Amino acid sequence: MTELAIGVDIGGTKVAGGVVNAAGEVIARTRRDTPHRSTSPDVVEDTIVSVVEELLADHADRVVAVGIGAAGFVAADRATVVFAPHLSWRHEPLRDALSSRLALPIFVDNDANAAIWAEYRFGAGRGESHLVMVNLGTGIGGGLVLGGQVFRGRHGIAGEFGHMQVVPNGIRCECGNKGCWEQYASGNALVREARALWESGSPTVTDDLRSMVGRPEDLTGPLITEAARRGDRLARELLGEIGTWLGIGIADLAAALDPGTFVIGGGVSAAGDLLLEPARAAFRAQLTGRGYRPEARIVAAQLGNEAGVVGAADLARAGVTAS
């Protein structure tokens, strides 16, 4: 009988969980809202335990491990969340806290590491030895697979591409710095720009966009993407700007890392070519050595919002096998 693992993906807005088999298939799912960052870490842990216990109800006899993909800096011990910009964790001993409440091996990783592992094993990155993933969600998450292994860095926190400075003294980021990449290429950036235009009374805000919600504060990334698919001029322009910033940052990553493929995931990637075509154009325009060097592919993630769940579960299963 195939061994199962539970994956839990903790993002800035949602906690998603799933039971995953060895083929990367999610056979049971559940989700919760992510507690606000001002709440105690215990509240976030309560949410995780609630998700895991619900999933264990029908699969307890076959689940061998629980993998956590956390939106934050996870230490090399795969146990401690050092810092989470969008959550209340600061040097949080997450594995120990969960192990005291769940009678299963617990493995903690960065959420983007989990997502890239899923794409490498089961999705858009299959067959690629040098893979970089850029996840555009609330912020930007990043992950690397080099030589068939997740690259975590000396201290476990490699891949925090979202906090590369792309604009000196630019927009203040929640991490405390200014001009971080995720302030220009993320779901938050998309919504911020749309709301700012609406609140300023700009005539560029179309009646179609206004008709979708009554107030600018009700605008969300998925709604803007939906408007863009329907042909809304402003929504397409804003997604194009996000895509351009995405391509600029990817060109810098290519100069440093020389991967064969970039996989673009996260909620904003649901816009497809409305995002990726501007990204590819900006990438080609900014790539150092352009015209003379091999050019990495830029492709959409295949596993969608389930990549974090699938990857966290598969890494946990591998961790049990290796121990």
Q: What is the pLDDT along the chain (323 residues), one digit of tens a residue?
A: 568 999 999 977 789 999 999 999 999 999 999 887 657 788 889 999 999 999 999 999 999 999 999 988 899 989 999 988 777 889 999 999 999 999 999 999 998 899 999 999 999 999 999 999 999 988 898 999 999 999 999 999 999 899 999 999 999 998 899 999 999 999 999 999 999 999 999 999 988 888 888 899 999 999 999 999 999 999 999 999 999 999 999 999 999 999 999 999 988 999 999 999 999 999 999 999 999 999 999 999 999 889 999 999 999 999 998 87
pLDDT of residue 37: 67
Coil, helix or strand for 277?
helix
Domain count, the chain: 2
Residue 132: strand pairing partners: 144, 262
Nearest to 134, CA basis, from 285, 284, 9, 269: 269
- Whether residues 310 and 250 share a domain: the answer is no
- Whether residues 183 and 314 share a domain: the answer is no
- Whether residues 52 and 174 share a domain: the answer is no
Q: Is 153 left (phi over 0), alpha (psi -120 to 50) or beta?
A: left
Torsion, Cα 35 40 41 46, to 10 degrees, reads: -60
Instruction: Provide the CATH number for the domain around residue 72.
Output: 3.30.420.40
Q: Answer yes or no: is 91 within a domain.
A: yes
- Whether residues 258 and 152 share a domain: the answer is yes
Question: Kindly report the CA angle at 65 between 6 and 140, in degrees rounded to 5?
Answer: 55
pLDDT of residue 1: 53
Q: Which amino acid is at 297?
A: R
- Whether residues 224 and 93 share a domain: the answer is no
Length of the chain: 323
**Distance from C-alpha of 206 to C-alpha of 198, rounded to nearest angstrom:** 9
- Whether residues 216 and 312 share a domain: the answer is no
Q: Answer yes or no: is 230 within a domain.
A: yes
pLDDT of residue 71: 83
User: In which element (H, E) is residue 144 found?
Assistant: strand 140-146
Q: Answer yes or no: is 205 within a domain.
A: yes
- Whether residues 100 and 145 share a domain: the answer is no
- Whether residues 284 and 248 share a domain: the answer is yes
Q: Answer yes or no: is 28 within a domain.
A: yes
pLDDT of residue 288: 95
Structure pTM? 0.89
Q: Answer yes or no: is 122 within a domain.
A: no
- Whether residues 139 and 32 share a domain: the answer is no
- Whether residues 156 and 288 share a domain: the answer is yes
- Whether residues 317 and 278 share a domain: the answer is no
Domain of residue 175, residue span: 127-301
Q: Are strands 63-70 and 26-33 parallel, antiparallel or unpaired?
A: unpaired
- Whether residues 133 and 113 share a domain: the answer is no
